[in-house]
Structure 1
Amino acid sequence: MIKKDTVDVVAGKVKQFQEKGELHFPTNYSPENAMKSAWLKLQEIKTGKQDGYRPVLEVCSKDSVANSLLNMVVQGLNPAKNQGYFIAYGHSLTFQRSYFGTMAVTKRVTGAQSIDANVIYKGDEVDYEMKHGKITNLTHKQKFGNIDKEKIDGAYAVIVLPNDQVYYELMTMDEIRQAWSKSQMWGKDQKEEKKGSTHDEFKQEMAKKTVINRACKKFINSSDDGSLVIDHFNQTDESAEEAQVEEEISNNANGDVIDIEYNEPEPEQEPEQPSDQPDDDLEQAAMDFEQKEAQTTNGPSF
């Protein structure tokens, strides 16, 4: 097992970033606590069937473990809040944000006051204007009787900024399904959601998740902040809705490697820790969906 001094290595690297003024954390974020939470999670994670369900800390390279922790901390995320999870691809450990994490990074970098999304059903009244190529003044009137997951026309996300400006992202259901078609859980010739799948059972929440991810990615990349946060935001953006996971991993799995000399670790046994579970069923469904996608590539995640 990789020794816990990996955490100390990452903490030292983060301190260097802070001393150079390249990295600033919000007042309520503790990188030390986030790394401790991550280390406890890592004790539980195992590889997939093809690697014999072995602990990832036995299989994955030391550099990839350190860099996955670094990606998490630079973005100011904490796995205990379901803001991301670790997945093994071969001998490389990666950190992937959940959409809760994507919203957290967007709020941190842009100062957004809120990020919300809603679903548009058949029969709803939606009106908006286009100004300089952007959606403005979006209004949505909905009748309770229109709510039916089999009659979704689309979804939209709303990002409210500190200066009371509002950013809208609007997607039709066809666009949402096109994003879903990039998922590892989507069949080659599949046109609609499979009955009983997460996309089918929680269609509204999955539609919201997709439009939020797109809104945050477009908005954060159009901001003026060229910090390490955005670099790592893009590096760990391996959402199955927007790109094939394998291609992203082959390009980015071990990018921005920490140049550290390690002594050969001696085996040590860590006690198993109980995993944290989200309280909300819909949030759990979204997390389960992301985990299933990862498992189809190699191994389980949290």
Structure 2
Amino acid sequence: MTQNAVVAAAPKKSIVDLVASKIHAFQERGEIHFPANYSPENALKSAWLTIQTVMDRNQKPALEVCTKDSVANALLDMAVQGLNPVKKQGYFIVYGKTLTFMRSYFGTMAVTKRVTGAQDIDPRLIFEGDDVDYEIRNGRVENLTHKTKFSNINNKSIIGAYCTISWADGRMFTEIMTWDEIQASWKKSKQNPDKEGSTHQEFPGEMAKRTVINRTCKAYMNTSDDGSLILKHFHHQDDVIAEAELEEEIAENANRERIDVTPAAEHVSQDTSGTQETKVGTKQGNQAPDKAREDTEKPSIDEMELNF
């Protein structure tokens, strides 16, 4: 039976219960504590139901194309961060054979508040004509003031955004982004934000707020030297997604590679001007699919993947 067939046929117990037992072990060792209103078992059950509806770009079910390791780790990332897809705190996305859990901005705010004890996370848009003043001290934005007029509010005149994390004791942390920086961030999205009718084009204000929220929360979390399990999984998400995207790109490029059956690796041809033109063959390209498969192979979840 192929690996994909095994994953598709794997009962819920073999994956969900494995992750649940791992979470329970973390709790017993005192490595993780959940809010009173969060049940990791219930969140895992809800997530499993959600995953069964997830498709890849070819409309194939995630549980048929994704490795068992990646499914388990996506569930683990979600549960350790205390998140639940039912609350729109994250989404499961397929990259090639890898299932990943991607936090929504709701999820990012929830984890940030939980880890830092922040009271509020407040995003604001800056429009043409607004008066924004602030100081930079030790590389941080301080004493920000923002004066605006109701007549300035227009999605077509957004020039920037900022977000402030605040604590009950009066501490604040603020990040500011220009419109160019926001759009540059959107270009990294696989949702094709430049397409006419996209969510980014239809609701630029709301999408800009989401972008600056994510930027601010990640920037503050990156300043923490906390080695907690939650923080490790908070940062782990970006690494997993970046690796999965790269593996998917390698596999796609390998499949598109033109096959050269000529045994020589290089061919030298003489043109009419007497100059030589060197054409590199694709002999190595023929091996790329195997290399891609090697790169995507992972140790079993019992051996490494769940040992964070």
- TM-score bracket, shorter-length normalisation: 0.7 to 0.9
Conserved in 2, the CA contact under 8 Å of 1:182 and 1:244?
no
The 5 Å alignment of 1:96-245 reads 96-186=102-192, 193-237=194-238
Shift in Å at residue 35 of structure 1?
A: 0.5
Shift in Å at residue 56 of structure 1?
A: 1.5
1:57-88 deviations in Å (ceiling 9; x for gaps): 22222221111111100111000001111112
Work out the CA distance in 2 between the residues paired with 1:146 and 1:239.
41
Conserved in 2, the CA contact under 8 Å of 1:87 and 1:93?
yes
Q: Which amino acid aligns with 1:161?
A: W
Work out the CA distance in 2 between the residues paired with 1:217 and 1:74.
17
Work out the CA distance in 1 between the residues paired with 2:298 and 2:170.
37
The 5 Å alignment of 1:26-45 reads 26-45=35-54
Q: Which amino acid aligns with 2:147?
A: K
Unaligned runs of 5+ in 2: 1-8, 250-294
Residues 100-109 or 16-25, more deviating: 16-25
Tell which has more relative contact order, 1 or 2 (C-alpha 8 A, sep 6+): 1
Conserved in 2, the CA contact under 8 Å of 1:64 and 1:253?
no
- The structure whose residues are more often helix, as a share, is 2
- Rate the CA distance shift 1:58–1:186 in 2: closer, same or farther, 3 A: closer
Work out the CA distance in 2 between the residues paired with 1:232 and 1:174.
30
Q: Which amino acid aligns with 1:4?
A: K
The 5 Å alignment of 1:11-22 reads 11-22=20-31
Could you say what secondary structure the match of 1:85 adopts?
strand
Q: What TM-score do you get using the length of structure 2 for normalisation?
A: 0.74
Root-mean-square deviation over aligned CA pairs: 2.8
Q: Which amino acid aligns with 2:107?
A: G
Task: Say which of 43, 46, 61 aligns to 2:55.
Answer: 46
Q: What TM-score do you get using the length of structure 1 for normalisation?
A: 0.76
Shift in Å at residue 253 of structure 1?
A: 8.6
Q: Which amino acid aligns with 1:25?
A: F
- Rate the CA distance shift 1:212–1:27 in 2: closer, same or farther, 3 A: same
Work out the CA distance in 1 between the residues paired with 2:177 and 2:212.
7
The count of corresponding residues between Structure 1 and Structure 2 is 251
1:59 alignment counterpart: 65
2:277 alignment counterpart: none
Q: Which has the larger radius of gyration?
A: 2
Conserved in 2, the CA contact under 8 Å of 1:112 and 1:162?
yes
4+ long deviations beyond 6 Å: 252-257
- Rate the CA distance shift 1:54–1:185 in 2: closer, same or farther, 3 A: closer
| Identity of matched residues, % | 56
- Rate the CA distance shift 1:239–1:158 in 2: closer, same or farther, 3 A: farther
